[in-house]
Amino acid sequence: MNNIISTLGLYLSYPFVQYALIVGVLVALCASLLGVSLVLKRFSFIGDGLSHVAFGALAIATILHVTNELVVMLPITVLAAILLLGASNNAMIKGDAAIAMLSVGALAFGYLIMSKFSGSTNVSADVCSTLFGATSILTLTITDVWVCIVMSALVILAFILFYHKIFAVTFDENFAEATGIKAKAYNYMIAVITALVIVLAMELVGSLLVSALIIFPALSAMRVFKSFRMVTICAALLSVLGTVTGMVISILASTPVGASIVAVDVVIFAVFSVIGLWKR
C-alpha cells in the first residue's frame, strides 16, 4: 500500500502528469455536460463522427503544410457539426445514418490523403495515435493546458447560462420553437460547442476517449436518476471520477491512458445499471 502511494506521489510530482490530470478532468467535465443532451437527442455517435471529420481535416492540414492544424480542423469540424445537428428535424438523411456516412467517409479520405501524400513512414501508427490518443495526453505543454482551461470555462459557463434552454430544446424542439424560443439558434450553439470540445479533446486525449466521455457518464446517470438536473450533475461527477480513476490505474499498472479511462467508465455503467434495476 505504502508502495502504491509513494509511486503515485512520485508521478504526481511530474508536471506532465499534473497537466494530464487537469486536462483530463476538464475535458471529461465538458464532454459529459454536452453528452446528456447529445445522447437524449439520439446523437451518441456524434463524438465518433466529428472526430473522424477532424481527422480528415487534419490530413488535409498536414499535406498543405499548415503550421497550426487547428486553423483547418476547427472550421471544417464546426461546419460538419452544424450540418449534422442543425438540420436534425427535416434532413434528407436522418441523424444516425448521416453521422455514420460522414464518419466513415471522412476517415477513409483522411487515411487516403495521409498515406498518399504524407512524408511519414509509419502512417498507420499516426492514424492509431489520432484515434486512441496514444501518448499525446502525456506530452501536453503548459500552453495546451491554458487553452484547455479557458475553453472549458467557456463551455461550462455557456452550459450554466443556457441550461434551461438546452433542456427545453432537447426535450421538445417543436414546442420550444412554436412558443417563441429560437430552437434552431440553440441547436447551432450546441453544435458549435460540441465541435470545439471534440476537436480540442481529440488533440489531447484521442477520439476514442472523447466518444466514451460523451456517452458513458450520461447513460450511467440515466440508469439511476429521474430528473434532468440530477442526471446532469451525476454525469459530470461520474465523468470526473472515471477519468481520475482511469488515470491513476494507468500510472500504477502502466496501461494506456485512454483505454484505462474507458474501461473504468464501462465498469461504472455496469454498477449503475445494477443500482437502477435494484431501485425499481
* CB 29 to another protein: min, Å: 19
Taking the CA of residue 211 as centre, how many other CA atoms within 13 Å lie in the half-sphere pointing to its CB? 19
Q: Specify the residue, 32 or 51, whose C-beta has the smaller distance to another protein.
A: 32
Q: What is the 3-state secondary structure (H, E, C) of 19-33?
A: HHHHHHHHHHHHHHH
Q: Which of 131, 132, 137 is nearest to 110 (CA)?
A: 131
Please report, as residue ranges, which positions from 224 to 243 form the binding site for another protein (by CB under 8 A).
225-229, 231
d(CA 17, CA 140) in angstroms, rounded, equals: 9
* CB 105 to another protein: min, Å: 26
* CB 269 to another protein: min, Å: 15
* CB 174 to another protein: min, Å: 5
Q: Is 119 exposed, middle or buried (0-12, 13-18, 19+ CB in 10 A)?
A: exposed
d(CA 55, CA 73) in angstroms, rounded, equals: 8
Q: Specify the residue, 181 or 267, whose C-beta has the smaller distance to another protein.
A: 181
Q: Specify the residue, 132 or 225, whose C-beta has the smaller distance to another protein.
A: 225
> Contact 18/200 with Cβ under 8 angstroms?
no
Chain-centre distance for alpha carbon 163: 19
Q: Specify the residue, 105 or 276, whose C-beta has the smaller distance to another protein.
A: 276
Q: Specify the residue, 167 or 188, whose C-beta has the smaller distance to another protein.
A: 167
> Contact 208/262 with Cβ under 8 angstroms?
yes
Q: Which of 66, 75, 23, 64 is nearest to 202 (CA)?
A: 23
Binding mask 106-145 for another protein (x = CB under 8 A): ----------------------------------------
Please report, as residue ranges, which positions from 152 to 191 form the binding site for another protein (by CB under 8 A).
160-165, 167-168, 170-172, 174-181
d(CA 130, CA 205) in angstroms, rounded, equals: 9
Q: Specify the residue, 52 or 223, whose C-beta has the smaller distance to another protein.
A: 223
* CB 225 to another protein: min, Å: 6
Please report, as residue ranges, which positions from 37 to 96 form the binding site for another protein (by CB under 8 A).
40-42
* CB 172 to another protein: min, Å: 7
70-81 helix and 46-63 helix, angle to the nearest 10 degrees: 150
* CB 94 to another protein: min, Å: 11
Q: Specify the residue, 73 or 221, whose C-beta has the smaller distance to another protein.
A: 221
User: What cell was used for 111?
Assistant: 487515411
Total residues contacting another protein by CB under 8 A comes to 30
**Site residues for another protein per CB under 8 A:** 40-42, 160-165, 167-168, 170-172, 174-181, 221-222, 225-229, 231
